[in-house]
Amino acid sequence: MDKFSVLAVNRHRMKNDGRGITSLVALAGCPLSCPYCINRELLAANRISHMTGEELLAQLAIDHCYFLYTGGGVTFGGGEPLLQSRQIAAFAELCPPEWNLTIETSLAVPEELLAPVLTQRFSFIVDIKAMQPEIYRSYTGKENTQTVRNVKTLVETIAPENYVIKTPYIPDYTGESEVAASVRLLKQLGVPEKNILTFSYIK
Ligand code: SF4
């Protein structure tokens, strides 16, 4: 099994990354080029630790009791964690079943990379950026055809209590009407309204 390429492990997080107390594992690499990337410095510094699933588990296990008592666990973010989805799926087999495993993703990956983690073992926090192809292209530098397909697959597969889809207000890119249009398009794909969150990026 390939090793994880890890940028950072951030312990004792609450509220932002899933249920309970979580440790955020920031994984290296991202296919998008968002101008307001909050992880730009981390990604650019490229200080990567390569570790096996067992090594990562040993590092995270220090917080086992916090995870158990709060219903928390581990959140894989990045970068784009689905670039390392096979390692994440293998990690899920190793770690205690009580740990919540959450994936924070843009879903901007080929479907083969989504498939290994498309099980009820995982929760998903998806930042969709924008559903409109032209806005998405201008903000991320990529097309969103596959991303939209992945949203549909996720919605058809994962229980609604295990995912949220965020559509942000992005300064200079999306305002009220663009976010409202994204919400409409997400609903057309079958995303329940309560699973759609709007929030604002800070420039
Ligand atoms: S998807 Fe996330 S990590 Fe990747 S460039 Fe955009 S903001 Fe940065």
What spacing in Å lies between the alpha carbon of 89 and ligand 1's midpoint? 22
How many Å apart are CA 86 and CA 84, to the nearest integer? 6
What spacing in Å lies between the alpha carbon of 80 and ligand 1's midpoint? 7
Residue 167, beta-bridge partner list:
198
Contact 8, 26 (CB under 8 A): yes
Task: State the 10-residue block means of pLDDT for the chain, 203 residues long.
Answer: 91 78 94 88 80 97 96 94 98 97 98 97 97 97 97 97 96 96 97 95 74
Whether 78 lines ligand 1, by a CB cut-off of 6 Å, is yes
Whether 82 lines ligand 1, by a CB cut-off of 6 Å, is no
E strand intervals along the chain = 4-14, 21-27, 49-51, 73-77, 100-105, 122-127, 163-169, 196-200
pLDDT at 198: 94
pLDDT at 49: 94
Domain ranges of the chain: 4-200
Whether 106 lines ligand 1, by a CB cut-off of 6 Å, is yes
CATH of 4-200, one of 3.40.50.720, 3.20.20.70, 3.40.50.10470, 3.40.50.300: 3.20.20.70
What spacing in Å lies between the alpha carbon of 41 and ligand 1's midpoint? 11
pLDDT digits (tens, 9 = 90+) for 116-169: 999 999 999 999 999 999 999 999 999 999 999 999 999 999 999 999 999 999
